[in-house]
Each structure stands twice: as C-alpha cells, then as structure tokens.
C-alpha cells in the first residue's frame, strides 16, 4: 500500500494516487468528506478556510461505490485557485506580471530559503506552494480511505488536543467513542469545556499580538490486533513508521509513543506494562505506558501517539530575514495566516496514523480482495486463540 500526492496550495487541485487497496471495499463518500470538513475546522484558523469547501472527488479505482483493486485516484479542488490563475498558470502567459510578484524574501521557519537554494529557484513561490500545509488536505482524504478500511475490522481512530501553548488539557478517562463525541463538539478538540474557553481566549490574545502558537496532539487507535509491524527488521517496526509519518506533517517537531520522553525519567519497574491472562481476552496488560508497542509490534493495547507542532512561521509580527536578491536584511510582512492550526493538525495526525496502521494490516493479512483479507484475519485470530 502506497500513495503519492501532487499539487500546490494555490494551484487548481490536489491529487493523490493510492496503490494497493484491495477490491470489494465499500467506500462511504459522505464519511470521506466529513473527515475533510473536520480538518478545515478549529479555533484560530485563518481566512483561507472560509474560501475552501474541501470535497474529495474519486476519479479512478472505484465503481458503483466499491474499490476494484485498481489504483484509487483522489482529487480535491482549491477554490482559492480562481484568485491565483495568472500567478499559478501552468503555461507561460503573454505580458505576465509574474516577475513583479516574485517571492524573494524568505520567511524564517518555512521551507522557502532551503528549497530555493537546493532547487536553484529564484522565485520562492515555487517552494512555498508545495511546502504549504494545504497538502495535508489530500493526506486526510487518503487517510480517510485507510480509516474506512480499518473500521471494517473494528479498528477505531480518535484524536485530541493535549496542549496549546501554555494551556494544557487535564487528563480524563473517557472511552474512545465518548472521546470522539466530546472532541467533535469542541472548537479546539479538547474534552474539558473550561480548557476550551481558556484556549480560545489564549489564541485570541496570540492573534492580537500578531503571533502564532503551536501545541501537542494525541492520536489513539483501538481494536488493533496483536502483531502488526515486526521486530525483525528496522523498517518493519510499526512504531518507527508511525513516527516518520507524524514527523512528516507540516510543522511537527517531535513524536512520542505512550509515555514517550517521560520514560527517560522513570525506573524500569515504573515503565513496563505487566502481562495478565484470562480465558475471555487472552493475554492483556495491566497498564498501557508503552502506547501499544513492544519490539516495534502492536501488543493489542490501544496505540497512543503524541506529536508536537511548532507555531506556524507565517507571522504578522515580522521576524528578521535576508532578501535573496539584494542580500540586504528586511523584516517580513505578511497578509494571511493561521494563528493556531493545532486542532486541524490533530485531525491530520489521525489520518497519517490510520494510513500506517492500514498499511501494516495489509502487509500482515494481505490479499487482493476484502474477502481474502478477512479470511486471513479470521484465521490469525483463531491461531491466537489456540496459542
Ligand atoms: C499555509 C498558509 C495558509 C493556510 C494553509 C497553510 O494558506 P494561504 O497562504 O493560502 O493563506 O490557510 O492551509 C491551508 C490552505 C489548508 O487547507 O490547511 C501554509 O503556509 O502552510
């Protein structure tokens, strides 16, 4: 299972091609678009989200609502493109004002300068258009398909915001369904209403000061069978692959599984999850500090992943930089940005994690049709019971 994406933030569309999905998988188009809408929400988003109405068009690999086993092609239009037609035109245009609109002032924290130097591009728009977090739209579309696949095997994915800047959400012990319901009803994807109010006020303050703010998000995957991923080779360790996926989300600077960095402060006896057994559930764990992983394999406990997002670097409050033409210093001035995109990033992370889990699931139970995969899965479950 693999996919590639293409498309620019102000180009006509974002495109993804997914290869390796089985045949006979029912696709719920409304559920797919619901995930795209979730990504667009969140307190602290900028004006761009009022322009976009993200919907996925499937343009290959699906017929009468079911996958055929052929590559699935997904397209999401950029409504904002109509305002950028000339600047983003693919063919050269006569009398183009493109030179005047050239971006030559790199923003600290963005891909602008590194990308310009590396690809030898003197218009930094050619870098920023692709490095924009707009691309996460189509990654959510892809992940939403993976999520639907997982749901057919009783696997559920949830996400929540743990921190925005100085404000931390208190712990809770909701079930995954309750968590999904509570975060869905929150503007900042937290359970606690008091925290939600504090976070909103905090984001307002940050915005007013011309600044931006990041945070920490968590993803939980429940219903995962024991044994996804493998200890035998570095690139088969599923926790490692999830970490790569999460780090690849725009602006993410760190990942942890389970108690993560806390493990460096505690003793072995305080970290490891004791093994229990009962007739009904088989082998279980007393706790889940290791976030569902031992030896790069799932252990049947929920997968718990956290990621930290840095504040968005496009600031109203200018930072010092250097013009690539004149080599003179300047302070960047911008027009449009998200003061906080942490709630949206939480939705993105759910889908990035769902993708990695679906991929590992297909590697273990792989088959060309849903029927074949289901038979392999049932067979493995029976084997676990007999063990
Ligand atoms: C982004 C900048 C903003 C965000 C964008 C990511 O876009 P624009 O430059 O058009 O105002 O709104 O996010 C999205 C478009 C999106 O769909 O999430 C950036 O520089 O990364």
Q: What is the pLDDT of residue 315?
A: 80
Q: What is the pLDDT of residue 160?
A: 98
Atom 16 of ligand 1: nearest residue by CA position? 134
Atom 6 of ligand 1: nearest residue by CA position? 133
Domain with 322, as residue range(s), is 2-89+98-386
Centre a 10 Å sphere on the Cβ of residue 217 and count the other Cβ atoms it contains. Answer: 29
| Contact of 163 with 169, CB cutoff 8 Å | yes
Q: What is the pLDDT of residue 99?
A: 65
Question: Could you tell which of 141, 309, 338 is best to mutate to test the pocket of ligand 1, judged by most ligand atoms within 8 Å of the CB?
Answer: 338
| DSSP letter, residue 88 | T
Is residue 132 in contact with ligand 1, taking CB distance under 6 Å?
Answer: yes
* 10 CA to centre of ligand 1 in angstroms: 9
Q: What is the pLDDT of residue 338?
A: 87
CA distance 143 to 149: 10
Per-residue pLDDT tens for 96-105?
A: 676 667 999 9
pLDDT under 70: residue ranges of the chain: 96, 98-100, 333-335
Q: What is the pLDDT of residue 316?
A: 77
Task: Say what percent of the chain tops pLDDT 70.
Answer: 98
Atom 3 of ligand 1: nearest residue by CA position? 337
Per-residue pLDDT tens for 331-381?
A: 876 667 789 999 999 999 999 999 999 999 999 999 999 999 999 999 999
Q: What is the pLDDT of residue 95?
A: 73
Question: Could you tell which of 14, 42, 46 is best to mutate to test the pocket of ligand 1, judged by most ligand atoms within 8 Å of the CB?
Answer: 46
Give the CB-side neighbour count of residue 57, counting CA atoms within 13 A: 9
Report the number of distinct structural domains present in the chain: 1
| Contact of 256 with 355, CB cutoff 8 Å | no
Q: What is the pLDDT of residue 333?
A: 65
| DSSP letter, residue 239 | H
| Contact of 113 with 106, CB cutoff 8 Å | yes
Indicate the burial class of 376 (C-beta count within 10 angstroms; 0-12, 13-18, 19 or more). middle
CATH number of the domain where residue 202 is located: 3.60.150.10
């Amino acid at each position: 299972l693999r996919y590639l994406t293409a498309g620019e933030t102000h180009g006509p569309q974002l495109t993804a091609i997914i290869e390796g999905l089985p045949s006979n998988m029912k696709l719920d188009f409304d559920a797919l678009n619901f995930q795209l809408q979730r990504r667009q929400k969140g307190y602290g988003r900028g004006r761009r989200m009022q322009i976009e109405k993200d919907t996925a068009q499937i343009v290959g690999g699906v017929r009468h609502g079911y996958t055929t086993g052929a590559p699935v092609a997904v397209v999401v239009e950029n409504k904002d493109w109509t305002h950028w037609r000339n600047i983003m035109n693919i063919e050269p245009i006569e009398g183009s004002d493109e030179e005047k609109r050239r971006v030559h002032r790199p923003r600290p924290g963005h891909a602008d300068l590194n990308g310009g130097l590396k690809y030898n591009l003197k218009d930094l728009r050619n870098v920023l258009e692709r490095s924009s977090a707009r691309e996460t739209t189509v990654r959510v579309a892809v992940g939403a398909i993976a999520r639907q696949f997982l749901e057919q095997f009783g696997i559920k994915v949830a996400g929540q915001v743990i921190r925005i800047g100085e404000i931390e959400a208190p712990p809770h012990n909701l079930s995954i369904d309750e968590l999904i319901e509570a975060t869905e009803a929150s503007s900042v994807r937290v359970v606690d209403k008091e925290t939600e109010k504090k976070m909103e006020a905090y984001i307002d303050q940050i915005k007013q000061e011309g600044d931006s703010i990041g945070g920490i998000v968590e993803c939980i995957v429940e219903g995962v069978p024991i044994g996804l991923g493998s200890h035998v080779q570095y690139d088969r360790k599923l926790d490692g692959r999830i970490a790569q996926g999460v780090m690849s989300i725009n602006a993410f600077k760190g990942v942890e599984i389970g108690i993560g960095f806390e493990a460096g402060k505690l003793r072995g006896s305080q970290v490891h999850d004791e093994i229990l057994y009962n007739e009904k559930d088989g082998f279980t764990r007393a706790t889940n500090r290791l976030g569902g992983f031992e030896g790069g394999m799932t252990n049947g406990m929920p997968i718990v992943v956290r990621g930290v997002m840095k504040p968005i670097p496009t600031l109203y409050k200018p930072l010092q930089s250097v013009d690539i033409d004149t080599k003179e210093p300047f302070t960047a001035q911008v027009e449009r940005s998200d003061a906080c995109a942490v709630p949206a990033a939480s939705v993105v992370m759910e889908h990035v994690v769902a993708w990695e889990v679906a991929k590992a699931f297909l590697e273990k139970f792989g088959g060309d049709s849903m029927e074949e995969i289901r038979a392999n899965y049932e067979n493995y479950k029976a084997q676990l019971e007999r063990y």
